[in-house]
Amino acid sequence: MTAPSHLIGLIGANVAGSLSPLLHEREAAAHGLRYAYRTLDLDALGLAPDHAGQLARDAARLGYTGLNVTHPCKQSVIAGLDGLSDDARELGAVNTVVIDMHDRGPRRGGSGAAARLTGRNTDHTGFRTALLEGLPGAALGTVLLVGAGGAGSAVARALLDAGAGTLLVADAEPARAEQLAARLAGRRAGKPAGNAAAADGAGRVAAVVLDEVPTRLAEADGVVNATPIGMVGHPGTPFDASALTSRHWVADVVYRPLETQLVKAARAAGCRVLDGGWMAVAQAADSFELFTGRRADRARMRAHFLELAAQAGTELS
């Protein structure tokens, strides 16, 4: 019997150096699958982020069977999709698009469309897995989250699901932090009374001013960077890292490079650190399973990721 064939794409800006293609293809090879993964770089194509939805539909017409979506398209891509999973709808962000050629449900653009595109979000499940496996036993009494965009929304959901008691959200755009806090507070209000935060993701959520992050660290157990700051092309740290102490844990969602300036500062301060590779692998494994229906070997993918990162060098890792 011929092995299933998969053509997967990655929509985003500045994704030419992404490790996702080789990471997915290596795992697919271990399963005996025919699997090609291509980047659909907005910069190379000369497209603005608001074209992400149309790009997704064009990819489906060209035969792509699934898509990953990264910065800055996790929200703008929604305009081109036919439906959203519950988690993607709640988070208002999509990082995985499942393309179903056989689904006869309603399609955006009318019945002439060839495939149904459904947006999913594996960022929140990926970060939760990364946190539990990469920082086992991390204190979650109070956590600071910097970044309230697509990645920040997913990380916030993951932190609450993992049992964060208080989540403080900061963003360069204060209104965005306030909107995320209000949305998460509304989710909390909808939970049945009497459930523990660890069981129902019902921790307290509040927006704080970005400039307050260094002083707010005094009351926090850990901090997560969910902004692009620190990645290739966006150097620096998302806040003044000199306020970090050895009692903090620090997580970064950026994995290009693995050793961001924030990660380096955190290690120097004696913090427990979760580099962005943990989330990159966990969300990739979840996406791979949605695309193929096969169970991904996360330990194998983590080993492959570290090997690929070492081969690529620090600038592309």
The binding site consists of: 18-20, 70, 86, 95, 123, 147-151, 253, 255, 276, 283
Say how far apart CA 272 and CA 222 lie, in whole Å: 9
Q: Number of helices (H) and strands (E), helices first, in the chain? A: 12, 12
User: What is the enclosing helix (H) or strand (E) of 126?
Assistant: helix 123-134
**What is the secondary structure of 64-121 as a DSSP string?**
--EEEE-TT-TTGGGGG-SEE-HHHHHHT--SEEEEESS--S--TT-TT-SSEEEEE-
Instruction: Look up 74 and say whether it is catalytic.
Output: yes
**In the block, residue with structure tokens 């985003």:** 12
Question: CA–CA separation, 296 vs 274, rounded Å?
Answer: 21
From 222, 229, 214, select the one nearest 246 (Cα to Cα): 222
Q: Which amino acid is at 82?
A: D
Structure-token match 């970044």, residue found: 147
Torsional sign, CA 157, 158, 160, 161: positive
From the list 24, 71, 74, 120, the catalytic residue is: 74
Question: How many angstroms separate the CA atoms of 241 and 203, rounded?
Answer: 25
The tokens describing 287, both together, are 């996406």
- Residue showing tokens 């590779």: 277
Phi, psi of 312 (to 5 degrees): -70, -25
Nearest Cα to 125, choosing from 5, 237, 285? 285
Tokens describing residue 307: 């090997």
Phi-psi region of 63 (alpha: psi -120 to 50; beta: other; left: phi over 0): left
262 close to 252: Cβ distance less than 8 angstroms: yes
User: Phi, psi (5° rounding) for residue 65?
Assistant: -105, -5
Residues annotated within the binding site for shikimate are 18-20, 70, 95, 123, 255, 283
Give catalytic residue positions. Answer: 74
